[in-house]
Structure 1
Amino acid sequence: MLKCIQTIPLFEDIRMIFERDPAARNWLEVICCYPGFHAIVCYRFAHWLHRWHVPFFPRFVSHLGRFLTGIEIHPGAVLGKGIVIDHGMGIVIGETAIVGDYTLMYQGVTLGGTGKESGKRHPTVGHHVVIGAGAKVLGNIHIDNYARVGAGSIVLRDVPAHCTAVGVPGRNLCRVNPENFSLEPGHSLDPEAITIRTLVDRIEQLEQQLQTLKQTLAFSGSHTHATLS
């Protein structure tokens, strides 16, 4: 019986909410007050209708879910089990997107296309992936298992497994531990960002030294002129 329940995606979705979100205190709160879970429920029903080639109603259910939650998931998208959408407002998942099991997405994420091309035009996201707030993953690209996408990043190319994509456009960092990598924009381990920050700090120090030198020379000049007078 337990194995049967664990194979039902919605039960896994609820279980993962409790595992991922420390604010989740009881099942009634999750069922009634979590828009990410509501969006997943609407999607799973709409996707079931879509698989049976029911006209109109899958998109209508998706539209109702978007109206109620602010999260738009196309019925044609394929979402695995244990998906957690934290907060969720502004999330968009396109028609041909594929999202693997136990993926965590924060608000403002877009799994979208880059134009009007046909066929597979949206991203494929692997298992156990974390996508930070406001990240845009665009085109028919692959985000492999256990990868991470930093908040505010724009990802236009594949992200290998156990790597983290950060920046605009996204750059892959594969020499850091993704489990300890912060997705916050102000806590980046991007070597390019660190180098730029170091150069900016050095320029500020040199400017301060130059100002101090100018003030010293000006004081020395005025003191010498007063002495001569």
Structure 2
Amino acid sequence: MTLAFHASRARSRIVDDLDAAIVRDPAARSRVDVFLNSPGLHAIWAYRLAHRLWLRGGLYAVAARLLMTFTRSVTGVEIHPAARIGRRFFIDHGMGVVIGETAEVGDDVMLYHGVTLGGRSLERVKRHPTVGSRVTIGAGARVLGPVYIGDDVQIGANSVVVKDVPSGAIATGIPATVRFPDRPAEDPYEAMFRDPALWI
């Protein structure tokens, strides 16, 4: 693959990220505004570079860790460069987000500030969550351990998730309880606005 191909693909992903941020952030005014002022996006872009370095191993992996340590000090977002994160990922506000080494995140996922995708084991195994696509995780939520979060799930603010959550479900509380939208064909995201517990 040529350098021009890689540059084109990188530009495409940056535009995807910018557009995803504009769709999800009502305060965003333009691509330029988001490009300059979104610490969540800055952290994601640093992660994407660090992840490429991490995969090369050796001193590149050391550089990846250093890059993400610097990024954490600037953005307040900590993402291990070994984590695997899909396209159009968005972190709103950013501060306090932690994504662990073995975390896997699908496409079109949104995290609010203070979210942790953390581990519950000190063993060198898969110890962080796997998050499907089109998932929203509310501010301060903790998703802990090698749990599976299905597609189209909504996790409420400050919830603590330690068990799998099936696709299309809503999880709220400490520990989180799982339910499904109680209106036929209701979008889980829209259902959030009827449930105050999601925002506490």
TM-score of the superposed pair, with normalisation by structure 2: 0.87
SS in 2 for 1:56: helix
Gaps of 5+ in 1: 190-229
Match of 2:53 in 1: 49
SS at structure 1 position matched to 2:178: strand
13, 16, 23: which is aligned to 1:12?
16
Worse-matched range after superposition: 98-107 or 166-175: 166-175
| Corresponding residue SS for 2:189 | coil
- Secondary structure, aligned partner of 1:115: coil
- Asked if residue 100 in structure 1 is aligned to residue 102 in structure 2, the reply is no
The answer on whether the counterparts of 2:142 and 2:158 sit within 8 Å (CA) in structure 1 is: yes
Distance 2:46 2:29 in 1: 23
Question: Which one scores higher on RCO, CA 8 angstroms, separation ≥ 6?
Answer: 2
1:117 matches 2:117: no
* Cα shift readout 1:41-84 (whole Å, capped 9, x = no counterpart): 11011001001112310000000110000000000000001001
Deviation digits for residues 83-112 of structure 1 (CA, Å, limit 9, x no counterpart): 010001000000000010000100000000
- Equivalent pairs counted in the alignment come to 186
Paired residues for 1:90-169 under 5 Å: 90-169=96-175
Structure 1 residue 188 corresponds to structure 2 residue 192:
no
- Give the number of the structure whose alpha-carbon radius of gyration is greater: 1
Identity over the aligned pairs, expressed in percent?
Answer: 43
**C-alpha separation between the residues in 1 aligned to 2:51 and 2:14?**
13
* Cα pair 1:164 1:174 within 8 Å, conserved: yes
Q: Distance in 2 between matches of 1:143 and 1:121?
A: 14
Structure 2 counterpart of 1:120, which letter? K
Instruction: State the alpha-carbon separation in 2 of the partners of residues 143 and 89 from structure 1.
Output: 22
Q: Which of 20, 23, 26 is matched with 1:22 structurally?
A: 26
CA distance in 1, matches of 2:193, 2:161: 14
Unaligned ranges ≥5, structure 2: none
Q: Which runs of 4+ in 1 moved over 3 A?
A: 4-8
Question: Which is worse superposed, 63-72 or 111-120?
Answer: 111-120
Tell me which amino acid in the other structure corresponds to 1:152.
N
